[in-house]
Amino acid sequence: GQSLEQPSEVTAVEGAIVQINCTYQTSGFYGLSWYQQHDGGAPTFLSYNALDGLEETGRFSSFLSRSDSYGYLLLQELQMKDSASYFCAVRDHAGRRALTFGSGTRLQVQP
Amino acid sequence: GAGVSQSPSNKVTEKGKDVELRCDPISGHTALYWYRQSLGQGLEFLIYFQGNSAPDKSGLPSDRFSAERTGGSVSTLTIQRTQQEDSAVYLCASSPGVGDTEAFFGQGTRLTVV
């Protein structure tokens, strides 16, 4: 079956850097995505990696290693508003556009 | 519209009743997805539409669940004879349908079965 593993909770302080890891076991692989979800809100897209390496978008970066079935989301210069749940998701079939999501990592940023 | 719109935002229903949840995707998006999210959990895929057809219904948990999409736009998810375990947030998302890397989610419908 398909599975994605990520830590359930992470705590960090304002201004710090935090890395949220994701390992996946899927029958196929067509890209790793990251989504942010604030309590009661809609998931919003952060990043997408189809190829190995680091993608940077402002304070957020995402990394993928296909050979290790591993990726991470790096959040720099943490702000209180970054407190949210972060989900990794894999598209695991070429003909299946839907994503398989991990259970999410709840990030708490403390002053 | 400007974003994905779902209605109602909250629905409380009695066990055994049928419910209909509606999703208005972003105009022009041909791909539409339904997911379910239980409290503190990840998103569970239910069904995917490309246009009006559903090439992937593999996530529907039972035959009590069905969905349709008309005019390549609005979609309705119907749950018949609701059970307490159906209580969750039902999220709809859409994407352009070509070269997609990003899905756009609605705020969801919180369904409570009592």
Give tens-digit pLDDT for B36-70: 999 878 899 999 999 999 888 889 999 999 999 99
Residue A92 has pLDDT above 80, yes or no: no
Contact A11, A108 (CB under 8 A): yes
Whether residue B8 has a cis bond before it, omega within 30° of 0: yes
Contact A27, A3 (CB under 8 A): no
Mutate which of B101, B104, B110 to test chain A, going by most A C-beta atoms within 10 A? B101
What's the gap in Å between the CA of B59 and the closest CA on chain A? 10
CB contact under 8 A, A97 and B33: yes
CB-nearest partner of B101 from A48, A95, A100 = A48
Contact B30, B51 (CB under 8 A): yes
Mutate which of A99, A100, A106, A108 to test chain B, going by most B C-beta atoms within 10 A? A99
Q: Name the β-bridge partners of A62.
A: A55, A73
Residue B68 to residue B72: CA distance in whole angstroms: 10
Give the count of Cβ contacts less than 8 A between chain A and B.
57
Q: Do β-strands B31-37 and B5-7 pair in parallel, antiparallel, or remain unpaired?
A: unpaired
The mean per-residue pLDDT over the stretch A77-93 comes to 93
Token pair recorded at residue B1: 């519209």
Give the nearest chain A residue to B101 (CA atoms). Answer: A48
Residue B99 to residue B33: CA distance in whole angstroms: 16
Q: What angle do CA B24, B44, B39 make, to 5 degrees?
A: 95
DSSP 3-state of A29: coil
Residue B49 to residue A23: CA distance in whole angstroms: 28
Neighbours of B49 (CB within 10 A): 25
In the prediction, which pLDDT does B72 show? 85
CB-nearest partner of A101 from B4, B40, B43 = B43
Nearest Cα residue to A33 out of A77, A108, A98: A98
Q: Give the model's confidence band at B26: pLDDT under 50 very low, under 70 low, under 90 confident, else very high.
A: very high
Q: Which residues of B touch A27 (CB under 8 A)?
A: none
Give the nearest chain B residue to A41 (CA atoms). Answer: B107
What's the gap in Å between the CA of B8 and the closest CA on chain A? 15
What's the gap in Å between the CA of A44 and the closest CA on chain B? 7
User: A21-42: per-residue pLDDT in tens?
Assistant: 999 998 888 899 999 999 989 9
